């Protein structure tokens, strides 16, 4: 069985990460979303082990102590984290594990694994990103300002990623991420090609 | 202008490198074959600067002294080499320069550039490689033996390459190399994405 890998996808809010990844799930075989662990309460419709692994604070903190997370964060008095075990198990099964995460989380993961492929999804321009956020019509002027400042902060981390995909046209962006995944499957470091086992030629 | 890169393709004789690369030239934009320099005589139909750069022995040896080759070899009393200048110029123009070369040459190139993408094209098995060579019907039993031994020698270098493509089905192999090229175009290290120039958001 050929090992899979972890595909870490970051990019500013509004750039279209969710749409790209959702469409990718329909075109690529062997993709699975990473399932995060959290200490927050389960909401209606959420399923343990699919939406999140819902665990209590004590267990989460024990897992932190035992170095069982690729990354974790403490947000609004709750923990969120990426359990190593889930990701490693899926990779062993040959799966490509998709993890959409902010740059801070991605940088933590980079320190904790050498089996990650890091993709940054960027807007064609900041102006276009602003247009997309404004078009949604759900954000106040103040919120838009915060989002744009966050975007500028995130874009500074591009150099830490392996690949840059500019989401200019959705189909072209999906296609590019698709090709990146297919190329990475051919990395020699992930290969199990073995010609030595042939006794006779 | 976004820089291109050098795509180095190796693989045992008979694996189908020529066919894969020829078909690739028809599907990918911006590909050019690397043009080698040689001291051997021009044959009928060959064009200087396209088939080869035909240069005399003294000039070739001066170029060696001046470190103007990515790699060179001395074969049957003639020199063959890959001029740095040609490759660098094409890369600057945004081209992907294709170089089909044996593992020895590829290893020399690896030492001389950090802008190369190394692809190894492998047969599904040694047995299948032998079948393909035998099917050609042009080789003596002794030649086939030599080729197979060379193949075994070359396959030992796979770990030195970035990507491994198994040429099981031609179209699938072409598609894989195509995807590798497209993915490499998205490498952050080759990106010229610049958001800082935007003064106003």
Q: Are A26 and A135 in contact (CB under 8 A)?
A: no
For residue B81, pLDDT beyond 80: yes
Half-sphere exposure for A27 (CA within 13 Å, toward CB): 15
**CA–CA distances in Å: residue A189 to residues A178, A192, A195, B105, B160:** 19, 9, 16, 21, 10
Report the 10 Å Cβ neighbour count for B8. Answer: 28
Task: List the 156-195 stretch of A: residues with Cβ below 8 A of B.
Answer: 158-159, 161-166, 176, 179-180, 182-184, 186-188, 191, 193, 195
SS3 B35: coil
pLDDT at residue A196, rounded to an integer: 60
Q: Is A62 helix (H, G, I), strand (E, B) or coil?
A: helix
Q: In sequence order, which residues have a C-beta less than 8 Å from that of residue B93 and are 6 or more positions away?
A: B1, B4
Q: Which of A125, A159, A183 sits opposite B198 (nearest CB)?
A: A125
Using DSSP, state whether B55 is helix, strand or coil: coil
How many contacts, defined by CB atoms under 8 Å, are there between A and B?
88
- CA dist., res. B4 & res. B30, Å (int): 9
Question: CB neighbours of A40 closer than 8 A, spacing ≥ 6?
Answer: A52, A54, A78, A80
Inter-chain touch B179–A183, beta carbons under 8 Å: yes
Please report the pLDDT score of residue A4 as a whole number: 95
For residue B104, give Cα distances in angstroms to A15, A41, B59, B160: 45, 60, 23, 11
| Other Cβ atoms closer than 10 A to A93 | 13
Would you say A109 and A82 are in contact if contact means Cβ atoms under 8 Å apart? Answer: yes
The answer, for A107 touching chain B at a CB cutoff of 8 Å, is: no
pLDDT at position A199 is 52
Q: CB count, 10 Å around CB of B157?
A: 16
B130: contact with A, CB 8 A cutoff: yes
How far is A193 from B154, CA to CA, in rounded Å?
14
User: Token digits for B121?
Assistant: 């094209």
In order of A36, A89, A93, A106, the CA distances from A86 in angstroms are 9, 5, 11, 17
Tell me the pTM: 0.90
Whether B94 has a pLDDT exceeding 60, the answer reads yes
Is the separation of the CB atoms in A62 and A36 below 8 Å?
A: no
* Contact (CB<8Å) B125/A179: no
List the one residue out of B185, B129, B170, B184 whose CA is nearest residue B24.
B170
Contact in structure between B8 and B99 (CB atoms under 8 Å)? yes
The mean-pLDDT minimum among A156-160, B57-61, B135-139 falls in B135-139
What is each CA distance from A200 to A30, B13, B126, B136, B145, in whole angstroms?
A: 34, 19, 9, 21, 12
Q: Which residues of A touch B187 (CB under 8 A)?
A: 162-164
pLDDT at residue B201 in the model:
58
pLDDT of residue A136: 82
Torsion angle, alpha carbons of B130, B134, B138, B143, to 10? 50
> Nearest CA to A118 among A145, A158, A154, A89?
A158
Task: Identify whether the C-beta of residue B159 lies closer than 8 Å to the C-beta of residue A188.
Answer: yes
Hey, is the C-beta of A5 within 8 angstroms of any chain B C-beta?
no
State the pLDDT confidence band at B27, using cuts at 50, 70 and 90: confident
Q: Percent of chain B, pLDDT > 70?
A: 97
Q: What is the nearest CA distance from A119 to chain B, expressed in angstroms? A: 9
Residues B95-130 pLDDT 10s: 999 999 999 999 999 999 988 999 999 999 999 999
Q: Given B130, B193, B200, which is nearest A201 (Cβ)?
A: B130
Provide, as residue numbers in chain A, all residues whose Cβ is less than 8 Å from the Cβ of B184. Answer: 183
Q: By the 8 A CB rule, do B176 and B2 touch?
A: no
In the numeric block, the tokens 């590909």 are attached to: B31
Averaged pLDDT for residues B46-51: 94
Chain A residues near residue B159 by CB distance under 8 angstroms: 188
Cα separation, A96 vs A3, whole angstroms:
9
Q: What is the pLDDT along chain A (201 residues), one digit of tens a residue?
A: 789 999 999 999 989 999 999 999 988 889 999 999 999 999 999 999 999 999 999 999 999 999 999 999 999 899 999 999 999 999 999 999 999 999 999 999 999 998 899 999 999 999 999 998 888 888 888 999 999 999 999 999 999 999 999 999 999 999 999 999 999 999 999 888 876 645 555
Binned at pLDDT 50, 70 and 90, residue B198 comes out as low
Please state whether beta strands B37-38 and B31-33 pair in parallel, antiparallel, or not at all (unpaired): unpaired
- Closest Cα partner for A99 from A78, A119, A69? A119
Question: Of residues B194 and A200, which shows the higher confidence score?
Answer: B194
**Inter-chain contact B164–A193, Cβ cutoff 8 Å?**
yes
CA geometry: angle A45, A46, A47, nearest 5 deg: 120
Contact yes or no for B186 and A176 at CB 8 A = yes
Q: Look at residues B24, B32, B38 and name the one whose alpha carbon lies nearest to residue B74.
A: B38
CA distance B182 to B175: 10
């Amino acid at each position: 069985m050929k090992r899979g890998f972890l595909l870490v996808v970051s990019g500013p809010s509004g750039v279209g990460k969710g749409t790209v990844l959702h469409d990718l799930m329909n075109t690529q075989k062997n993709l699975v979303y990473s399932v995060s662990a959290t200490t927050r309460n389960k909401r209606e419709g959420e399923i343990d082990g699919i939406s999140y692994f819902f665990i209590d604070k004590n267990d989460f903190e024990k897992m932190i102590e035992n170095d069982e997370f690729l990354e974790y964060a403490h947000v609004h008095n709750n923990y969120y984290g990426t359990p190593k075990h889930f990701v490693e198990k899926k990779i062993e099964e040959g799966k490509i594990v998709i993890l959409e995460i902010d740059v801070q989380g991605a940088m933590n993961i980079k320190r904790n694994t050498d089996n990650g492929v890091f993709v940054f999804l960027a807007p064609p321009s900041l102006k276009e990103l602003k247009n997309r956020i404004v078009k949604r019509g759900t954000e106040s002027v103040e919120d838009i300002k915060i989002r744009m400042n966050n975007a500028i902060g995130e874009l500074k981390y591009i150099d830490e990623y392996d690949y840059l995909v500019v989401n200019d046209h959705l189909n072209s962006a999906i296609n590019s991420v698709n090709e990146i995944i297919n190329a990475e499957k051919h990395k020699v470091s992930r290969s199990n090609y073995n010609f030595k086992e042939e006794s006779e030629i």
